[in-house]
Structure 1
Amino acid sequence: MEKIIVDPDNRATFRNNVDYCVGTGRLGLALTEEYLKELEFVQKMIGFSYIRGHGLFSDDVSIYHEYEEDGETKVEYNYTYIDRIFDSYLKLGIRPYLELGFMPGQLASGTQTIFYWKGNTTPPKDYKKWTDMVIALLQHLKKRYGEETVTWPIEVWNEPNLPGFWYKADMEEYFKLFKETFLAIKAYDSRYMVGGPAICGVKDAEWIESFLKFCQKEGIRPDRITRHHYCVEFPERIGHYDYSKLEDSEMRFANLQSTRDIVDSFEEFKNTPIHLTEFSTSYTPKGVIHDTNINAAYLARQLSRLGDVNEAYSYWTFGDVFEEQGVPDSLFHGGFGMVAAGNIPKPSFWTFYFYKQLKVFGSECVHRDDNCVIVKNENGYAGIVWNIGETEIKREYLLGGAEGEYALVTKTVDETCCNPLKVWHDIGEPAYPTTEETQLIKSAAYPAVGSDVIKADNGHVTVTACVKKHGVVYFTLNKRNYTPDRGYDYDKVISFF
């Protein structure tokens, strides 16, 4: 068994920004009941600050309208749906991260669309009408929600380096879109924080470097550099589903570092914050890995290090109400969400919940390695231990600076004790489970809780972590305040009968 001595005076680099932002399917889905129930659950349990999704200007949200009057084409805006959507967000304690896209049909220069819901991905036919629409929306939001709206982050478009998301992946045309949008927003109110280029994967280094050279030439200083981060090889499609192999974590972290290095190579852009406005394992909404315990363990390592070179990172997505490739065919369909229909938390949900609890517990990180992160406060320690491998790992953590008794509480998520996918499979994989089946599956979707009383020995208290294959364990170790009632003897209670 591996033994690790943890010095309470040690300080390890660990920037935990797990609750900054989370992703969502297109904004129009926020008009549905199931969507709001899932978001309410996530907010109650974790509490993200911002939410980012596609389709702000798509036709289903219905903001932009052209009409003919006296032989002249005129424009009007309709904020009925976006107000309902954002009202719902603010009621749940979350604010929009404004991704500016896709193109309204009447403003589009072409007919190319993406997804089941046909988001138009062509440039505007008139850039002045585009920027007028953007500024009109910001004015409306400020009037409705107040000055706080200037703190809502803004990102120009989504994945323009992919031809499906931006017509022909035209770099020069995207740079024009960014410039016109950036300058219009800053002219309206310079306090807004505007970022780009929101790229994903393909030619990422080329796009980042070219984007910064363009900004340098034009005298533009983006407030954030935005990009995406996915961690699987190209998937194999079988029936409705995508099967992908995970990429090596170190390779993915190196890719993130390369973006940081490129940004910092420009003197005027050095230390500009980087936002991962989407990240996950698989990049498809039918990626079966999303529903599994291995997803939870892999993400535990990601979350331990994503803050090293990125100011923010937003998981894609909070829930399974999602329609990019059509309405989901089954309960567990490989959806992006950390929560399945019926508010069934997937194993990955608990990874995020544990990291939020770690943030609440204490900000002083005393130990971090490839399998764990441990923080402390004045009352004790808390940590997360994960196992991406094939066999159980056993570790002893000797936590220093201890005296007296401590209460150890563990919460375990692994394939044995927190695996709703297995229960669903074992009862026959019902695509549309009944209320009773949903409750049964949900009952298997919560961590196993354990507890113990541990006494300090020679200034250390020892926590033994046994983490099964694809497991994640969260523990807290707090000084024990023992206050028994008169006449109550626990040892006698459990041995008396």
Structure 2
Amino acid sequence: MKTEKIIVDQNTNVSFNNNVDYCVGTGRLGLALTEEYLKELKFVQDMIGFSYIRGHGLFCGDVSIYHEYEEDGITKVEYNYTYIDRIFDSFISLGIRPYLELGFMPDDLASGTQTVFYWKGNTTPPKDYKKWTDMVIALLKHLKDRYGEEVTSWPIEVWNEPNLPGFWYEADMEEYFKLFKETFNAIKSYDACFKVGGPAICGVKDAEWIQAFLDFCKKEGICPDMITRHHYTVEFPERVGHYDYSKLQDPKERFENLKSTRDIVDSFEEFKDLPIHLTEFSTSYTPKGVIHDTNINAAYLAQQLSRLGDMHEAYSYWTFGDVFEEQGVPTSLFHGGFGLVAAGNIPKPTFWTFYFFKQLKLFGSDCVYRDDNAVIVKGDCGYAGILWNIDGDDTQKEISLPIKDGEEQSLIVKTVDEETTNPLKLWHDLGEPAYPTKEETELIKSASYPAVSSSIVAPLDGLADIKIAVKRNGVVYFILSKRNFTPDRGYDYDRVISFH
């Protein structure tokens, strides 16, 4: 095991913007009508607590908002909010608000028949832009009537990945810009307090699209409230049977790609410093990307979370749970689903990466150390940090932390790695049951929680020296805080544990 030293200077202030809990992704909104979906979301909210949730399918048939009918030879429109009210009521009861992605096209309003996914979301422009904007504004009015003025704080994104022909017919840039302009102007005319962004692109020709989008906005006198894009970090996958196998890309290259978007935005005087939202990010971009269920996914994303706030006001992991059907109903418990949790509320290793970053945010905002494999913050009661190891040799971190009062410290360490927290391995060793029984589910879940260890640290010469092992593909969270020793009369711990 190799050794790495970290020396912390409490007077050093390191830039670190931890927005881990701003938003999380979901499968299409209609899935929120199912019991398993809500159980998984409640678990995630109880443990992490995201502010917003973004998903596809707001205007798709299973949510059933838009309808046309004929009366006296005239085509008329009516709206139905039964399901969307039920969905958003559930979100709000769980402490999370919608990040409104406007899409896909209702069948009655679509100009064509192209669809995407197993559930056939229509991805063609509207046959009538006035009917489209009327539908959008009617929904916003309804939401304000139901939930009050807070609705104006719910971010709005126009469409999803229009630079991909599967998500927007022929990836027609000019047609998307028309959609954005008509939608943006209609919303702002209704209530300028709403925040509206785009172009929600992913991967293909991203720089070209961002540049052209901002050129268009400048020409039309439009100022989006945020620029939105997506961020995935694998090469093109190989499909074997039901599953997709991908190689991770160099994280430095992916960060440089993100910076290119920041540079383009800031090259416009009108749009300089405009917020950029990553409304989707993950490693693999397929719902059968086997890496999602692994410990390497957790370690790789720890580094991502340590840096995504450098250039982005918001970033939304895709997705919170495995209730997801883009390529059909999942055929097995661990199927490479996007979710932080698997069916039965089994937290995957990556769940704990997000949980640790949320705990770090709650602990303190003064970052005193950050590198490619660690971030440490100082709070009122001590220090907390996250350490990770991206597919490298087992490492022992020797960390020196300044302690002013010289009093004893309690060190709590929570470890997630291939040995301590690996539900995938237990499932595999059980025979990979596609549909585990209740007993098997509970057994697999028992292997999905971090290992917790503790020790007492006595500072010397104003420094607390601690040693923490971070094994291959591991993520470790630690807290070092003042030990308040308050033994009861007659209780002697050393004597208690000395019995033979």
Q: How does the TM-score come out when normalised to structure 2?
A: 0.99
> In the alignment, is the contact (CA less than 8 A) between 2:303 and 2:388 conserved in 1?
yes
1:464 corresponding residue in structure 2: 467
1:213 corresponding residue in structure 2: 215
CA displacement 1:142-183 (0-9 Å, x = unmatched): 000000000000000000000000000000000000000000
Shift of 1:391: 1.2
Alignment of 1:442 onto 2:449: no
1:41 corresponding residue in structure 2: 43
Shift of 1:401: 3.2
Structure 1 counterpart SS, 2:498 = helix
Structure 1 counterpart SS, 2:270 = helix
Out of 342, 345, 353, the residue aligned to residue 343 of structure 1 is: 345
Out of 40, 51, 54, the residue aligned to residue 52 of structure 1 is: 54
Following the alignment from structure 1 to structure 2, what is the Cα–Cα distance between the partners of residues 10 and 198? Answer: 37
Aligned pairs for 1:170-209 within 5 A: 170-209=172-211
Structure 2 counterpart SS, 1:464 = strand
CA displacement 1:196-251 (0-9 Å, x = unmatched): 00000000000000000000000000000000000000000000000000000100
1:19 corresponding residue in structure 2: 21
2:409 corresponding residue in structure 1: 406
1:262 corresponding residue in structure 2: 264
Alignment of 1:377 onto 2:372: no
Out of 486, 489, 493, the residue aligned to residue 492 of structure 2 is: 489
Shift of 1:2: 2.2
Following the alignment from structure 1 to structure 2, what is the Cα–Cα distance between the partners of residues 59 and 496? Answer: 68
Following the alignment from structure 2 to structure 1, what is the Cα–Cα distance between the partners of residues 441 and 387? Answer: 29
Following the alignment from structure 2 to structure 1, what is the Cα–Cα distance between the partners of residues 304 and 96? Answer: 24
Structure 2 unaligned regions, length at least 5 = none
Shift of 1:3: 1.8
Following the alignment from structure 2 to structure 1, what is the Cα–Cα distance between the partners of residues 40 and 4? Answer: 40
Shift of 1:400: 1.1
Alignment of 1:94 onto 2:79: no
Alignment of 1:301 onto 2:324: no
Q: How does the TM-score come out when normalised to structure 1?
A: 1.00
Shift of 1:389: 2.6
Following the alignment from structure 2 to structure 1, what is the Cα–Cα distance between the partners of residues 298 and 87? Answer: 30
2:325 corresponding residue in structure 1: 323
Following the alignment from structure 1 to structure 2, what is the Cα–Cα distance between the partners of residues 379 and 341? Answer: 37
Following the alignment from structure 2 to structure 1, what is the Cα–Cα distance between the partners of residues 492 and 145? Answer: 62
2:251 corresponding residue in structure 1: 249
Percent of paired sites with the same residue? 78
Structure 1 unaligned regions, length at least 5 = none
Higher deviation after alignment, 383-392 or 406-415: 383-392
Structure 1 counterpart SS, 2:280 = strand
Structure 2 counterpart SS, 1:136 = helix
2:418 corresponding residue in structure 1: 415
> In the alignment, is the contact (CA less than 8 A) between 2:157 and 2:198 conserved in 1?
yes
Following the alignment from structure 2 to structure 1, what is the Cα–Cα distance between the partners of residues 266 and 466? Answer: 41
Following the alignment from structure 1 to structure 2, what is the Cα–Cα distance between the partners of residues 459 and 161? Answer: 56
Out of 432, 437, 456, the residue aligned to residue 435 of structure 2 is: 432
CA displacement 1:239-289 (0-9 Å, x = unmatched): 000000000010000000000000000000000000000000000000000
Following the alignment from structure 1 to structure 2, what is the Cα–Cα distance between the partners of residues 256 and 490? Answer: 53
Letter in 1 for 2:334: F
Shift of 1:4: 1.7
Alignment of 1:137 onto 2:124: no
> In the alignment, is the contact (CA less than 8 A) between 2:376 and 2:386 conserved in 1?
yes
Shift of 1:378: 2.2
